[in-house]
Chains A and B, each alone.
Chain A
Amino acid sequence: MSNWPTETKYISHSTARIDAPAKLTGNARYSSDIQAEGWLYGMIYRSKWPSAKIKSVNLDKALQVPGIKAAVVVRDGEFNVRYYGDEIAAVAGVSKQACLDALRLIEVQADVKHEFVVKENDARKDGSPQVWDGAANTVAPHVRENGTVDAAFGECAAVIEGFYTTPVQIHHPMETHGNTVSWTDDGVTAWSSTQGISSVRDGLAGSLQLDHSKVRVITEYMGGGFGAKFGAGAEGVLAAKLSKAAKAPVRLMLTRFDQALAVGNRPSSFQKIKMGALADGTLHAFEGENYGTAGIGAGGDSGGGGGGADIPMPYLYKVPNSRVKQSAVAVNAGSARAFRAPGNPPASFGMESAMDDLAVKLGMDPLELRQKNDPNPVRQREYALGAEKFGWKEKYKKPGSSPGVVKTGIGCASAAWPAGGGSRRTQGEAQINPDGSVEFRLGVQDIGTGTRTVIAVIAAELLGLKPDQITVKVGDTHYPPGPGSGGSTTCASISPTVFDICTKALQQLQTQTGLADARGDNWFAACKKLGVDPLVVHGQWQQGLSSDHAGGVQFAEVEVDTETGLVTVKKVVAVHDCGLIINCVTLESQINGGVIGGIGYALYEERVMDDLSGVVLNPNFETYKMPGIADVPDIEVILVNMPERGVIGIGEPATVPTAGAIANAVANAIGVRVPSLPITPAKVLAALGKVPPPVNS
């Protein structure tokens, strides 16, 4: 397809992250580092009740605390709170300590509702407390049906049934949500920790009833989002209101505790799957029923889409006869938001588990079952490449046949990510100065994926310069507008845009200077001919340089200690395609990150709710466990380069199949399925019949 150059110096090679020096020296200023002149500290007062009507909030005593400059209530009049952690009020003061003192003195009159529900299975029962007054907790299921399912099951040689569950997972970026907001007569400036400067700008303008032109959002550096940081959020609006009241900039970053309660999560899933195949392994019939919770809602502030509890079933395999029923269950807990590949990791875990269970019943190698039923030709290649690198044939043993106390097992699973393409509304500009220096300005943001570096790599390639000769400015709504960083779309949005800017720049340089080719060695001579005025070139996303739909296959090897139940991931081979590779080194980092996130989902992560008090029992890192450096296995990456497809994003597909591959490896090791994530030692021992099942599972 593409007009991308085939002989390259930088594209498809490795350029070290251009903003790394700033991050490595502490010079990079994250949103939480902003020290605007006269800034105040802000903190939020949250509901201690899972369900209550707030009658009144008295801030008088809080305002008398020395150093407190402002206090605001989240909304006027009476209002409802529907989960433990819902926002009620906020204070701003000269120090964190003053704010902590003030929060203790806020007085709230509330009608506390002692009936609430935090667990999906309780919320589905008749007579359950209603999260939303007068509305059932479970809406009518969405039903999709293809073919003739009931008859088809009768034609199958093997049928399995399973109940596969996944927990609510919390994003927990290392930098919590938050902003520094300065509201003056000229308008609002917000230094936001966000994945979408434009969506935060629009959200703040809407909530504060200001013109979009009066709100500027700046995100020079931010500490991770994973889908949870698209909107202004209650915390952004509160910071703005505090700033207006205090007449000073307010830095309001959430605490880690807040982070676990109120700013998003991945919905749970409870998947009842029945699946059948013909004798040769061809999938023939599928029936899936799924429900899960997105908390009190489907992520009203998610901005980036997703947040609902529906998942793509039967995922990426071809099943001619299928019936899928799905519904979301409301509980008194914080809303879901988009989370890296929304819907896909749970769907992959359920379907891939069912695939392996069916392979056992058919007496087939599970890899062969996949190769037989996956319609995608790129993944067919990836199965072959990965299997060879991983040594699948040599390593594969019948489930449960590993000897000894510590058993080894292998598994594989696949990913399909339908997005990853570019946003047509992406714009950008370059300013080419007579001294030959060049600055690219795009209103996107670098969330840690290497966006700045991608811009520098492409510009250097097309202008015949080196990446370090390109100055890249992103993360400011004063720059030409770009999309939010979600859906793995950033790379495919900015790459064609930079291509367009460079093409136009070279054309204009030729017109203005008379030099036939301004690239490379001619660059400085050409720029000098501009005289005194810099050349500013505007460009936008162009068709034909990017596409969408990326996939991948991952293979995992695990050890399971059958006395302690502990699962250790020994090795992961990740084979992925994302069209034209722009920068190998940052691409590999993205895939490592996806795999490691998937390990957390497979083995450790789960939001635990207390049904008696309605609180999140593990709102901090000592109890909400994520993979640490010692948990990370040897990860080998194979990148399938497809320049003919143009640029596609990778962030999301890389995390999709990991949990399914690990779960299958565990089942292969111990000969029984642990059908519930995370695969904790307690669940492994229960599956082995050594202890009773954990109470919460």
Chain B
Amino acid sequence: MKQTRPENSGAGAHSRRTFLKSLGTVAATAATAQVKSVAAELEKANAEKVVGPGAVPVTLKVNGQTLKLTLEPRVTLLDALRNYSSLTGAKEGCDRATCGACTVLVNDLPIYSCQKLAIEAQGCEITTVEGLADNGKLSPVQQSFFEKDALMCGYCTPGFLMSVTALLKHNPHPTAEDVKHACAGNVCRCGTHPRIVQAALKAAGVATASKTEVVDYV
């Protein structure tokens, strides 16, 4: 069969450049249309949810109590606790999710409260270190930290307590490796780590012994 060529099949018609150009135009048009439609969708979806930049009412449920605050939407949960209420137990060590001193429980899961906006935490059950003891009686985890001396300056301690508490809620019989995994996101600079592992195991009912030996020189 004789092959025919279209009338306008000059060299230019199918050049690489025009091919790409036309492809690009099509793609760009499609992309623009898509972006526009996505933007429209988002706008629609967010229409009722856009808050700020000014302060808005925020309601948090912390340690079983309701906290009614007025906060700019950019205020983190950590700042809401520390700077807009008297709950200063959660500490700021880095404000960028690398130290874990700000760890709190949100619906029983440990999170970095410096990385969650207070407005996002509404409707959740938030537990801070202040919420662990029961009417002044230390929780088993706190009691073990006390007895094992799993703290020194104490600044990272609230974060470790929350990580260990969350671990034991989900895994009541952890190994030392489980404890290390659970506390991998917490930094301590004084060097309390060995004692934290011992305390967590003690709270889980596992006895650990100190390997310290005292020897008289004379």
Contact = CB atoms under 8 A, between A and B. Distances in A.
Interface stretch (B15-23, B39-47, B71-79): B71-79
Given A24-B138, A175-B91, A449 B212 contact: no
Given A24-B142, A96-B83, A389 B213 contact: yes
A32 interface: yes
A447 B153 contact: yes
A581 B214 CA distance: 9
Interface string A561-603: 0000000000000000100010011101110111111000000
Contacts, number: 212
Interface stretch (B4-12, B29-37, B126-134): B126-134
A395 interface: no
Interface string A93-129: 0011100000000000000000000000000000000
B174 interface: no
A638 to B, nearest CB: 5
B99 interface: yes
Interface string A199-221: 00000000000000000000001
The majority secondary structure among interface residues of chain A is: mixed
A594 B218 CA distance: 26
Contacts of B196: 629
Interface string A367-407: 00000000000100100010001000000000000000000
Given A20-B151, A175-B93, A256-B93, A25 B83 contact: no
Which has the most chain A C-beta neighbours within 10 Å: B87, B132, B180, B190? B190
B155 A30 contact: yes
Nearest to B87: A26
Contacts of B179: 629
Interface string A618-651: 0011100011111010111111111010000000
Contacts of A447: 153
B154 to A, nearest CB: 3
A160 B117 CA distance: 59
A174 B156 contact: yes
B65 interface: no
A164 B210 CA distance: 36
Contacts of B142: 21, 24-25
Interface string B184-218: 10111111111111000000000000111111111
A590 B92 CA distance: 24
Interface residues of B, number: 66
A184 interface: no
A578 to B, nearest CB: 11
Contact of B154 (A221, A381, A635, A642): A221
Given A596-B193, A621-B94, A378 B217 contact: yes
B116 to A, nearest CB: 16
Given A173-B189, A255-B95, A630-B180, A20 B145 contact: yes
A628 B128 CA distance: 23
A20 B149 contact: yes
A404 B179 CA distance: 30
A634 B195 CA distance: 11
Which has the most chain B C-beta neighbours within 10 Å: A253, A628, A639? A628
B155 A24 contact: no
Interface of B: 72, 74-75, 79, 82-83, 86-96, 98-99, 101, 128-130, 132-133, 138, 142, 145-147, 149, 151-158, 161, 179-181, 183-184, 186-197, 210-218
Contacts of B212: 584, 588, 636-639
A448 B149 CA distance: 11
Given A26-B88, A96-B83, A224 B94 contact: no
Contact of A641 (B87, B181, B216): B216
B78 to A, nearest CB: 10
Interface string A515-550: 000000000000000000000000000000000000
Contacts of B188: 174, 629
A594 B94 CA distance: 23
Given A385-B215, A592-B194, A593-B190, A23 B151 contact: yes
A683 interface: no
A427 B191 CA distance: 30
A16 B191 contact: no
Which has the most chain A C-beta neighbours within 10 Å: B91, B153, B183, B184? B153
Contacts of B145: 20, 24
Contacts of A175: 91, 93, 153, 155
